[in-house]
Structure 1
């Protein structure tokens, strides 16, 4: 019997728009049969339980139901040999902040939508969210270690979206996006270290494969299109690259 691998996380792990969709998965989950967990499980010969779900926060890993799905940590029964998790970006509004930056500026003056857009682009609000997620990431690590005591538990951080210079946003918005990404990368590594988990450094590996590079592992801002990877998310090459990093981490 194959050893068990449980994959947890948000859309950055689920792979919305990367075809085909994982058989039997909820459409709202955006779970691809070619996300990094599926690719790694195939290569490692592991039995995969993929409970990744687009839009998930740390609370959806730990305690909260999401569209009827139980908290993701409940998928762990102690028999796992491998657990991966990519989480935290939705807690801090990382991709929503970049989407807000890409929207037409007149929308910011609208009564309701404008207030939300301005909040997402407020550096103080993003820093408060980053401060809050630090403890949540530690709790995720502790919970996964407790529920899967014999497993290799790996935090997989976020692929690089923004280039090191220039982007189709204002300089202030680009700086904020890079700050959120760098802080989330650091907090993920710190949570892994504190809780005895490993970390797969997808962010560092993808510095030269940002969405505006010649060989991108992520997609640019734009409208979602059927059969195409979601905007500001991993593409198929990015998922393959992260799978290779996970496989390497398991082998070390």
Structure 2
């Protein structure tokens, strides 16, 4: 190691605190061997252009955050992200002809990224559709979704999604013990308090309720990462103020109504780009 490189690494340790399991050097082995796993937030479902190499049902985009990372780092990307994926689809086929995502991970894989967990228990789709229907029924007043469903969503996350995340991350680690494994949290879908009923038909009192469900999911992702030695990419701070209620060019997630993405309540190209930026910053890439 050169003296200059040693100084740079020492400075990074001071600035960033503990530097965990640095990525393997690729100087002598060629491009970084990178595998992207995960659900529609990883696949950028609905963002154009679609990935022509992907199974049509996966709705994968060439502008998803794995492609952005690979382009910035010149990594050798194997992208098996797929819309609607759950943790169980790591070990089993999600659709006919779509192989289990873990099949892409090999012993010589050096980097794995993913966003996963939101579809387990149908958390995302049920929370949005049920709370949306409840909001419409009261014309946006009160907290009809919280009143009806209470802690059911967060109970499912804590009792079912969290252990499933631990199993999925452990399985990745077993297939590629030398790889750096990173799991991203989900960017904020709703603001903290004040919603936007014309674009996200959620009752006023249910905006913090849904935000709390997402916070619980992200906490489960964070804890699962800590339990398995993976790196958690926290998007909470950087995505604040970029939720689905914001204007075009500011928001990272598209709303239910008046959006630009045919796959609603999902990241747009800007969101995917910013997710890539945050991931590269956390991992020290690029």
Q: What is the TM-score normalised by the length of structure 2?
A: 0.77
Report the Cα distance in structure 1 between the residues aligned to 2:53 and 2:228, rounded to whole angstroms: 33
Say whether residues 1:50 and 2:74 are aligned partners.
Answer: no
CA change 1:140–1:223 in 2 (3 A) is farther
Question: Secondary structure at 1:9's aligned position in 2?
Answer: coil
Question: Secondary structure at 2:42's aligned position in 1?
Answer: helix
Alignment of 1:1-252 (within 5 A): 1-61=30-90, 63-68=91-96, 69-92=98-121, 93-103=123-133, 122-130=149-157, 131-167=159-195, 168=197, 169-214=202-247, 215-222=250-257, 228=261, 230-251=263-284
Instruction: List alignment gaps of at least 5 residues for structure 1.
Output: 108-117
> C-alpha displacement at 1:160, in angstroms?
0.7
Query: 1:229·1:235 contact (CA, 8 Å) conserved in 2?
Result: no
> C-alpha displacement at 1:106, in angstroms?
8.0
| Deviations 1:75-124, CA, capped at 9 Å, x for gaps | 111111110011110114124311332247788xxxxxxxxxx8xx6234
Report the Cα distance in structure 1 between the residues aligned to 2:214 and 2:103, rounded to whole angstroms: 28
Instruction: List alignment gaps of at least 5 residues for structure 2.
Output: 1-29, 138-144
| Deviations 1:106-153, CA, capped at 9 Å, x for gaps | 88xxxxxxxxxx8xx623431332121111111112111111111110
Q: Relative contact order: is structure 1 or structure 2 higher (C-alpha 8 Å, sep ≥ 6)? A: 1
Report the Cα distance in structure 2 between the residues aligned to 1:182 and 1:126, rounded to whole angstroms: 12
Stretch deviating more after TM superposition (177-186 or 164-173): 164-173
CA change 1:246–1:106 in 2 (3 A) is closer
The number of residue pairs the alignment matches comes to: 239
Query: 2:182·2:231 contact (CA, 8 Å) conserved in 1?
Result: yes
> C-alpha displacement at 1:31, in angstroms?
0.3
> C-alpha displacement at 1:234, in angstroms?
0.2
> C-alpha displacement at 1:179, in angstroms?
1.6
Report the Cα distance in structure 1 between the residues aligned to 2:237 and 2:125, rounded to whole angstroms: 18
> C-alpha displacement at 1:251, in angstroms?
1.3
Please identify which structure carries the higher helix content.
1
Query: 1:219·1:229 contact (CA, 8 Å) conserved in 2?
Result: no
Question: Secondary structure at 2:113's aligned position in 1?
Answer: strand
> C-alpha displacement at 1:64, in angstroms?
2.2
Show the counterpart of 2:9: none
